[in-house]
Amino acid sequence: MKTIVFLITVGVGIGFSQDPPGQPYASYWFPNELLAWSAATDPDAPYNRSGIELSTRTYADTQCNIHATTDQGGVGVLSIMNPSTSNNPSQGGTGIDVYAFNYWQYVDHLTFWGGSSGEGLILAPNPGVIDAGHRNGVPVYGTIFLPPVAYGGQIQWVWDLVQKSGSTFPVADKLIEMTEYFGFDGWFINQETAGGNAQLAQDLRDFMLYIQNNSDLEIQWYDSMVESGGIIWQNALNTNNDWFFQHEGNLISDWMFLNFWWNETGLQNSASLATSLGRSPYELYAGIDVQANGYNTGADWNGLFPSGEDHVTSVGLYCPNWTYSNASSHQAFYTRANRFWSGANRDPSNTDTTHPWKGLACYFAARTPVTSFPFVTNFNTGQGYHYSIDGEVLSELDWHNRSQQDVLPSWRWIAESGGTALYPEMDWDHSYYGGNCLKVSGALNTSNETMLYLYKMDAEIAPTDSLHLAWFADSAGQTSGMQVAMSLTSSPDFYYFEDVDDATQAGWNLFKLNIGTFAGSAMAVAAISFTCSTPVNDYTAYIGRLGVVRGSVDVPDAPTSLFVDEFNQVNDTLGTIRLQWDHSSSDVYTYNVYRENIDGSRTFLWATPNNACFVPEVTRPITETVTTIIVEAVSSEFGYSSTAGTTITWETTGIEQEQSTGQFFLNELSSNPVTGNTTIAFSLPLTGQTTLCIHDLSGRIVEVIHKGEMLQGCQTVLWNTGLLPAGLYVYRLECSEGALSRKCMVL
């Protein structure tokens, strides 16, 4: 296929403050727009596909909290994964900050929440969220949001959704086609637009039944519309809305999300009605709105989960992304998320507290997708300040990419000790693979030996299996202070221990232990014990990998037919790339994309489990005219294939050489970001024709501030930024001596 090259002549410097050119975005539509969609005509479609099948998971037999259940109820979440419906990057991007949800072990399904009357009503989840969910065995849903009239809703849009063609529902057919192409699991339907009637309500019911009969997609329905067509929240399942759940023996929606104003009596009645319809009461999710107050939200927990009795229904959490959106920092997000899910004691096995919010781990046992070996985790959260591969930092770029999130520890954190236990946490300063690792620190001595329980499993061991652990040492010969520990499903409370060898080198060390003697048995728990005969007051362990490898590390087949779909050159040293290739014939955990450097080394660019990849930043030394791009397949055991290669060709424009010299300069704005009026200051070496323009990131001139003759020397020009939409812009000064550009953010 022909390589397309776009040259965008805007000197913005290295890095982008908003999404770079060529960026693919998650898809969204109004109903009639969806009818015109096809994967063949959507240029972003290949970049919006999930590359990971839904994993199988289990509760297994190892439960840590006596209050938590494995057979009653569950948790559904509706999360705002990105700030808006539009401009939602498909495969992550530069910068570390993103809502990287990572407590999948407690969740039944996650809805990628969004949609708006101004952007689009039907929102497909981006592949990063699908991939992370699927790796953990969690289905991911898109949203069909039909908003209240007060928020721009139009009843015609609801009629458009359920329009018929003979005995078919064309929009439903497109939903099925699109969902199966992108690889997610179902839809949350939120119909809150007033003005309907009984016919519209019946059509919506039949629309859902049509999807059930013609696909394997799952549907969750929001308790808002009643069978007469009005919007009257019932806060319960009752005879006014039950035909959206079950009708004449037909399953209409797999789950129903009950509005937030439920009470104990209403829940009990809802559960009884569900049972009488032949459905489980745990297919009802009683809503709790945590968007504003998170774990300080009041809720009738005893009404939902009465002490000593069966759960009444499941629970639905609206916007648990509060843990991220209200956090003051990256670290604060992880602290809040742990408090939200594991409880006030930072320990899912001990959720006793006087605070009303005990954490979801108090009510629900963790599930695990580790049901077979091999299994390897690098504790990668899907974001970082750098990117490492096998202990070598190959990129210094801040990044987020939820597709790269590993299965994280089942329990965060259970650290048992007779003294003051060591402190486990995630660390983003070190990494063996990806952007972070597990850090365990504190004073280590014989009186506070610490057992850190990490993963529940239910996976049979084979004769060739070996346990791998990567850890960081300051110097060769350093004592690890660690023992790997595991238990078997036949006796999950009995542990086998093996000392981790002293370091053979400074930096990352890879310890391997043959566990084939346990072949035929299934591993129940993987843990690490910390013990040391000589006290270490400032002990710190960085653990970058843990897993079980079967035989020799698998080396997958290489991808084939690699080509550049699009190359956007921004200036003389910076560009973005769209790449595609054919999948490896082997099972693949992810693909790594690199640029080959002049000295033969590699710079990591991006990764995806899909076969289409957007590279948000590629750079070159100014002397290089052709850059080689290579792609390798990575197995689940982190073996690497041979590479497929292609090239990009750069044009040289001289933009990068535009520098302030002598009396020719362009000042930074005194305040950046800027709002309202600001002053642009500069100096001209000679009197002459001068142009001062504002460009957007595509290179388009959006405003001419000055064009005409100007005198030599220092000048100032007033710029009213209120004439432009918020975003990243470049102000560019041109005169007979050359041109200078600087970037700014307009709020």
d(CA 317, CA 718) in angstroms, rounded, equals 49
Low-confidence residues of the chain: pLDDT under 70: 1-19, 653-663, 670, 697-699
| Burial grade of 199 (CB within 10 A; 0-12, 13-18, 19 or more) | exposed
CB 195: neighbour CB atoms within 10 A?
Answer: 15
Domain boundary among 312, 338, 362: 362
455, containing H or E segment: strand 450-460
In angstroms, the CA 228 to CA 514 distance is 66
Tell me, yes or no, whether 430 and 505 share the same domain: yes
Q: Are 189 and 219 in contact (CB under 8 A)?
A: yes
Question: With contact defined as beta carbons under 8 Å apart, do 150 and 404 qualify?
Answer: no
With the C-alpha atoms ordered 292, 295, 300, 306, is the resulting torsion angle positive or negative?
Answer: positive
Determine contact, residues 420/530, Cβ cutoff 8 Å. Answer: no
Which tokens go with 259? 């509005």
Burial of 474 (0-12, 13-18, 19+ CB in 10 A): exposed
SS3 labels along 161-186: HCCCECCECHHHHHHHHHHHHHCCCE
- Residues 619 and 710 placed together within one structural domain of the fold: no
Q: Is the preceding omega at residue 673 within 30 degrees of 0, hence cis?
A: yes
The pTM assigned to this predicted structure is 0.87
Task: Report if residue 390 sits inside a domain.
Answer: yes
213 contacts: CB under 8 Å, gap ≥ 6: none
Beta strands per DSSP E along 515-559: 522-530, 536-550
Report if residue 304 sits inside a domain. Answer: no
d(CA 597, CA 584): 25
Residues 638 and 535 both lie in one domain: no
Q: Which residues does 166 contact at the CB level (< 8 Å), separation at least 6?
A: none
- pLDDT value at position 344? 97
Residues 219 and 211: their CA atoms lie apart, in Å, by: 9
Map tokens 């693909």 to a residue: 591
CA torsion angle 464 470 476 479 (round to 10): -90
Three-state helix/strand/coil letters over 591-646: EEEEEECCCCCEEEEEEECCCEEEEEEEECCCCCCEEEEEEEEECCCCCEEEEEEE
Please work out, in degrees rounded to the nearest 5, the angle formed at the alpha carbon of residue 667 by the alpha carbons of 661 and 671: 160
Same domain? For 358 and 385 the reply is no
User: What letter does residue 326 receive in the DSSP assignment?
Assistant: T
Range of the domain at 689: 658-746
Mean pLDDT of the chain: 93
Question: Do 157 and 267 fall within a single domain?
Answer: yes
Give me the pLDDT at residue 653, please.
62
- In CATH, what number is assigned to the domain containing residue 665? 2.60.40.1930
The verdict on 533 and 564 lying in the same domain is: no
Q: Is 308 among the domain residues?
A: no
Please give the tally of structural domains in the chain. 4
Distances (CA, A) of 714 to 659, 666, 684, 687, 733: 17, 10, 7, 11, 13
**pLDDT for position 14:** 40
Q: Is 492 within the bounds of a domain? A: yes
User: Which residues, 6+ apart, have CB-to-CB distance to 98 below 8 Å?
Assistant: 82, 92, 382, 383, 400, 402
On whether residue 288 sits in a domain, the answer given is no
Write down which residue in 550, 579, 598 finishes a domain.
Answer: 550
Question: Position of tokens 């104990």?
Answer: 264
Picking from 658, 662, 638, the residue whose alpha carbon sits closest to that of residue 713 is 662
303 located within any domain:
no
Which alpha helices (DSSP H) does 284-386 contain, by range? 301-304, 322-325, 330-342
Q: Are residues 231 and 126 in the same domain?
A: yes
Shared domain for 357 and 394, answered yes or no, is no
Indicate if 354 and 429 belong to the same structural domain.
Answer: no
Asked if residue 293 belongs to a domain, the reply is no
Q: Round to the nearest angstrom and report the end-to-end CA distance of the chain.
A: 40
CATH of the domain at 260: 3.20.20.80
CA neighbor of 474 nearest in space, from 539, 528, 388:
539
170-182 vs 198-214: helix axis angle to the nearest 10?
40
pLDDT in tens, 225-257: 999 999 999 999 999 999 999 999 999 999 999
- Same domain, residue pair 212 and 340: yes
Count CB neighbours of 591 within 10 A.
27
Domain boundary among 550, 570, 602: 550
Residue linked to tokens 């504790």 = 379
Tokens of 431: 């990494």
Asked whether residue 143 is domain-assigned, the answer is yes
Rounded CA separation 165/392 (Å):
58
Query: 334 and 463: one domain?
Result: no
Two structure tokens written together for 501: 């060898």
Asked whether the beta carbons of 737 and 664 are under 8 A apart, the reply is yes
500 and 355 both lie in a single domain? no
Q: What is the CATH classification number for the domain harbouring 585?
A: 2.60.40.10
SS3 (DSSP) at 516: helix
